[in-house]
Structure 1
Amino acid sequence: MDNRYNRQLQLPGFGAEAQQKLSKARVLVVGAGGLGVPVLQYLVGMGIGTLGMVDGDHISLTNLHRQVLYSTLEVGQLKVEVAAQKLAQLNPEIRLNSYPTHLTPQNALEIMEGYDLIIDATDNFEARYLINDACVLLGKPFVYGALHQYEGQVSVFNLEGGPTYRCLYPTTPSAQEIPDCNTAGVLGVVPGLVGLQQALEAVKVLTGIGKSLSGYLLMLDYLNQSQYKIKLKANPDNQCITSLQDSYAVASCTTVPEVTAAELYEWVGNGKKMLLLDVREQDEYVQGHLQKSLLTPLSVFRNQMEHLPQHLPIITICQKGSRSRKAAEMLLENEAAAEVYSLAGGMEAWQTQLRNKLVVK
């Protein structure tokens, strides 16, 4: 066995048997961002046999304060492609599988089926409920991690009859209940600390050492350096899932009309008169935006609404669709009769479906 693992092999209760289990394990990490980066680095370093990475995002400048696997020169490149190159250098013995896409109800079961353990390193509720339901259907455990500003949560779900994510949060929250990390912020080191806890739980589940967090939710407050565990109770009804939902989109209390990337592309091609408002921050905007779109960050959007023309249809645009919905809601609250649309899935959906058509960098 490669002597790169000597320090682990010397541990009482670990040894060659546990290392062998790691070398045979197949782990899928959904998300190669703030949580995913430390998970990927440490699992590769520790000798996981096969590691899959699912992420359709490109590296942005705002990622770098917490996603320290990437560099400034790599801004704009696909995360999974850059990660695969660097992780292969860290440990060439590992088999790496890259999936440069977002997990969807259409591809989740096919991608996840070949893995022993799933790690949820995402940053949104839609993905978490999708991962949960797919794991229940496939009979696979998953390691959960989430964060907000200075705080984090970690647990293990669907392990040997233990609680699922729906035992913690039975139903999807509304859009108004969801904190937006783009405006709430996050301290750079916090995702790293939460991701390390997830990597630790993955190793415990795979090797059988120690006691996992199955049945408990670990609450972490890094600002005050405190933590505690909440005991979770399994609800057998949450195992009664027969299929994935068609969509896991978070419901909004305000009905905002949406336009798909394909529809908007057709509108532009037909010469439809409209106003495109990009509500992301400037550093996101300069990395790639639609032609003739105006930068109107959500952080200052309310102050600028009164200066917008009222006679044109307005399409709001962001990275994934959440901020654009909020901007559209503000416009409709101000003028209920306005013709307003939010770009469904944001620039990520546009570039997934249409690549760089009409995109200015």
Structure 2
Amino acid sequence: MERFQRQTILPGIGISGQQKLQDSKVLVVGAGGLGCAVLPYLASAGVGSLGIVDGDKVELSNLHRQVLYSEKSIGEFKVLESEKALSSMNSKLTITTYPVFLTHENVDNLIADYDLVIDATDNTEVRYILDEACRVAGKAMIYGSIFRFQGQVSVFNYQGGPSYRSLFPEEDQSSLNCAEAGVLGTTVGMIGMLQANEALKIILGIGEILSGKILIYNMLKNDQQIFELAVQMEPVSEKVTSPTIDLISAEKALVEGGLLLDVRELGEKPVVSSEYCIKIPLSVLESRLDEISKEAKISVFCQAGTRAISAAKILKKANFMQVKAIRGGAADLLKLITNEKSIS
């Protein structure tokens, strides 16, 4: 216990509290900016078992905020690189890695063995899936979200408290992720640290949990506010149904062929030019569905993937059957198309 002596002497923790941390199992969904802030604090505090879910690989553009990785990590799975870094911090830590993207199909199995779940994603679709699974399973979900210089933290589904969907009943199709809106590394660091703090409080049974409340922190003003959530609780009788969207890589989309649907707004770059590509911004998609054949095989893309998923859901609800969303975005697609042209 010498390692944790500075925290075990704190009121409300002690040896028994440290044992609670050792016995706990926490699943972190997302090993990007928020995950890279959350994970080291949990590992260093002595949480006994960590699960890490992320099917993404490290890219150069990640390094300014995803501090578990180095230039040597580029091209490697984030979960595997984070496992290396965390194991060097705490060799007694049990780490289970899941190099997959969370979906409707795998979410129940992924969360089953864990006491609580931390939402460190920047994908709204995934957040709703995770929230609903945690609500049904009775597991707390610690939420964190970033928009430019501002971040939010809350705890959902905690001891019968409100869920994410009860706060945001409808998915916001216009929401932007970090790749689209921009992000400062210190912002994700601050919000991730606050998420880790909520996890430690829940495990230890100390302090006031951000359940039924949302904390908003503005990095430019050093301003922190906590708001009470006025939400109605929904019954836990059944899962909220939503069209299941298949996510594919840009490479697979080109191999499978069919129509490429660009749902970015006019003027967004890079420009993707292909005889198989049409552009209908997400903001007007529902009014222009008649421009697309319902028999077409459609791969939807945007800047980073979030709007593509929203567009694919609109198409599926309108009975377009062969619809998939491209994971990643226009830059990946353009690179592949450019390479194909240079080879031919």
Matched, 1:87 2:80: no
Contact 2:49 2:95 in 1 (8 A): yes
Give the Cα separation in 1 of the matches to 2:52 and 2:62. Answer: 17
Alignment partner for residue 224 of structure 1, among 207, 212, 221? Answer: 221
CA offset digits 1:145-180 (Å, max 9, x no partner): 001110000011111111111221112122xx2124
Q: Give the SS at the match of 1:209.
A: coil
Q: Give the SS at the match of 1:11.
A: coil
Residue 89 of structure 1 aligns to which amino acid in structure 2? S
2-11 vs 101-110, which deviates more? 2-11
Counterparts in 2 of 1:17 and 1:216: CA distance versus 1, 3 Å: same
Alignment partner for residue 241 of structure 2, among 214, 238, 245? Answer: 245
Matched, 1:69 2:32: no
Contact 1:163 1:215 in 2 (8 A): yes
Contact 1:57 1:78 in 2 (8 A): yes
Counterparts in 2 of 1:20 and 1:60: CA distance versus 1, 3 Å: same
Residue 193 of structure 1 aligns to which amino acid in structure 2? M
Q: Give the SS at the match of 1:201.
A: helix
Give the Cα separation in 2 of the matches to 1:259 and 1:60. Answer: 15
What is the TM-score of this pair, normalised by structure 1? 0.74
| Residue in structure 1 matched with residue 269 of structure 2 by the alignment | 300
Give the Cα separation in 1 of the matches to 2:218 and 2:170. Answer: 25
Matched, 1:206 2:190: no
| Residue in structure 2 matched with residue 331 of structure 1 by the alignment | none
Contact 2:253 2:326 in 1 (8 A): no
Give the Cα separation in 2 of the matches to 1:124 and 1:5. Answer: 35
Q: Show the 5 A alignment for 1:253-292.
A: 264-267=254-257
Q: Which runs of 5+ in 1 are unaligned?
A: 250-257, 281-296, 329-340, 352-357
Alignment partner for residue 321 of structure 1, among 301, 305, 311? Answer: 305
**Cα offset, 1:233, TM superposition:** 3.5
Give the Cα separation in 1 of the matches to 2:121 and 2:159. Answer: 23
Contact 1:49 1:94 in 2 (8 A): yes
| Residue in structure 1 matched with residue 129 of structure 2 by the alignment | 130
Counterparts in 2 of 1:11 and 1:73: CA distance versus 1, 3 Å: same
Contact 1:321 1:342 in 2 (8 A): no
Q: Show the 5 A alignment for 1:25-40.
A: 25-40=24-39
Counterparts in 2 of 1:200 and 1:326: CA distance versus 1, 3 Å: closer
Give the Cα separation in 2 of the matches to 1:44 and 1:210. Answer: 20
CA offset digits 1:15-58 (Å, max 9, x no partner): 11111111111100000010001111110000111100000000
Alignment partner for residue 189 of structure 1, among 186, 191, 200? Answer: 186
Give the Cα separation in 2 of the matches to 1:162 and 1:347. Answer: 34
Contact 1:317 1:343 in 2 (8 A): no
**Cα offset, 1:245, TM superposition:** 3.2
Give the Cα separation in 1 of the matches to 2:71 and 2:252. Answer: 32
Residue 85 of structure 1 aligns to which amino acid in structure 2? K
Q: Give the SS at the match of 1:122.
A: coil
Q: Give the SS at the match of 1:236.
A: coil
Give the Cα separation in 1 of the matches to 2:87 and 2:303. Answer: 29
**Cα offset, 1:235, TM superposition:** 2.2
Give the CA RMSD over aligned residues.
3.4
**Cα offset, 1:345, TM superposition:** 2.6
Residue 218 of structure 1 aligns to which amino acid in structure 2? L
| Residue in structure 1 matched with residue 117 of structure 2 by the alignment | 118
Contact 2:32 2:62 in 1 (8 A): yes
Counterparts in 2 of 1:153 and 1:259: CA distance versus 1, 3 Å: closer
Residue 91 of structure 1 aligns to which amino acid in structure 2? N
Counterparts in 2 of 1:183 and 1:83: CA distance versus 1, 3 Å: same
Give the Cα separation in 2 of the matches to 1:235 and 1:279. Answer: 34
Q: Give the SS at the match of 1:88.
A: helix
**Cα offset, 1:96, TM superposition:** 0.4
| Residue in structure 2 matched with residue 345 of structure 1 by the alignment | 326
Counterparts in 2 of 1:264 and 1:173: CA distance versus 1, 3 Å: same
Contact 2:35 2:192 in 1 (8 A): yes
Give the Cα separation in 2 of the matches to 1:114 and 1:5. Answer: 26
Contact 2:262 2:277 in 1 (8 A): no
Contact 2:146 2:178 in 1 (8 A): no
Counterparts in 2 of 1:266 and 1:92: CA distance versus 1, 3 Å: same
Give the Cα separation in 2 of the matches to 1:45 and 1:110. Answer: 27
Q: Work out the number of aligned pairs and report it.
A: 300
| Residue in structure 2 matched with residue 286 of structure 1 by the alignment | none
**Cα offset, 1:215, TM superposition:** 1.3
**Cα offset, 1:248, TM superposition:** 6.1
* Identical positions, percent: 41
